[in-house]
Amino acid sequence: MELNILTLEDRYAKFEIKGITPAIANALRRTLINDIPKLAIHKVIFHHGQIRDMQGKVYDSSTPLFDEIIAHRLGLIPLPTDLNMNFREDCDHPPDEGCPMCTVTYTLNKHGPATVYSGDLIPVGDEKFRPVDPLIPIVKLKDTQAILLEAEAILGTAKQHAKWQVTSGVAYKYHREIEVDKEESDLWEKVKEACPDAVVYEDSKKIIFTDDVECKLLAELISFENPVIREDDTWFVFQFETDGSLTAKDVLKYAITRLKNRFSHLRESASLG
């Protein structure tokens, strides 16, 4: 098995793996989608009644959106995640309590007229837990309204709820080679010029392209001419995006370790039986 990183950005990764079966590729895809832990707000306590500001002005705790909707929107905000934290059920205390190892507490206090953004969420304690994206709008407030709440974020995986989903657009495809006969094709020279990275092999009679690299002209060639297309079902090109709570590198590392542990657990269990 061989893994090559093709593109690695903070929130995006593209890589290829050679020498695996489709079953393994799909296992990795599904791990990337729903088995990566991340922090998300799970419990919100709203202050109901009058809210006073520093000058003593009285605000009303009502907002244009229902509390449930605000709580839901808060849950979906990506929060920076420390993978050394525990799942709440792995902590020693009762499951309805929290400790610094499994819980991050946030407060939000804002009075109108204003738009409340994710950046207004203040972590109690470590500053590193400030939301990754400070510009997600949560709710709008009129000049007589204010919002005061406390929120608890815990680790979870996307198996339980989409708010714990780190990755989006996780996909893989086979490595494909497109063999073009130079005499039969009119487009190959243009494709070669536009996407020199896509050329795998060339001699006087034929040229072979790959669509692992994005190339609009090559797609045109495939649909208008009739090249020989060969797919390799042991060579996979993966890509995925993250929401910023973890970097693409951390996600990939965690997914591979997680998959390895699950397979070794399976192997042990099978040999015991």
Partner 1 sequence: MMVPVRCFSCGRPIASEYNAFISRINLIRETENREPTTEEIQKIFDDLGIKRYCCRRMILSHVELIDDVMPFD
Q: Which stretches of the chain bind partner 1, using CB under 8 A?
A: 62-65, 69, 73, 76-78, 118, 133, 135-140, 142, 158, 162, 165, 168-169, 241, 243-244
Strand, coil or helix: what is 251? helix
The distance of closest approach from Cβ of residue 121 to partner 1 in the complex, given in angstroms and rounded to an integer, is 13
The distance of closest approach from Cβ of residue 230 to partner 1 in the complex, given in angstroms and rounded to an integer, is 27
Distance, CA of 210 to CA of 235 (rounded, Å): 12
Distance, CA of 158 to CA of 121 (rounded, Å): 23
Pick 162 or 229: Cβ nearer partner 1: 162
Distance, CA of 133 to CA of 155 (rounded, Å): 19
Q: What is the DSSP string of 206-222?
A: EEEEESSS--HHHHHHH
Pick 125 or 137: Cβ nearer partner 1: 137
Pick 10 or 233: Cβ nearer partner 1: 10
| Residue found under tokens 């953004």 | 117
Distance, CA of 194 to CA of 183 (rounded, Å): 19
The distance of closest approach from Cβ of residue 200 to partner 1 in the complex, given in angstroms and rounded to an integer, is 25
DSSP 257: H
Pick 62 or 234: Cβ nearer partner 1: 62
Distance, CA of 241 to CA of 74 (rounded, Å): 21
Strands 103-111 and 146-156: antiparallel
The distance of closest approach from Cβ of residue 137 to partner 1 in the complex, given in angstroms and rounded to an integer, is 6
Pick 37 or 227: Cβ nearer partner 1: 37
Number of residues written out for the chain: 273
The distance of closest approach from Cβ of residue 242 to partner 1 in the complex, given in angstroms and rounded to an integer, is 9
Helices (H), the chain: 22-34, 67-75, 188-194, 216-224, 248-272
The distance of closest approach from Cβ of residue 64 to partner 1 in the complex, given in angstroms and rounded to an integer, is 5
Instruction: Give the CA diameter of the chain.
Output: 84
The distance of closest approach from Cβ of residue 183 to partner 1 in the complex, given in angstroms and rounded to an integer, is 36
> Which of 95, 111, 237 is closest to 174 using CA atoms?
237
Pick 140 or 192: Cβ nearer partner 1: 140
Pick 179 or 244: Cβ nearer partner 1: 244
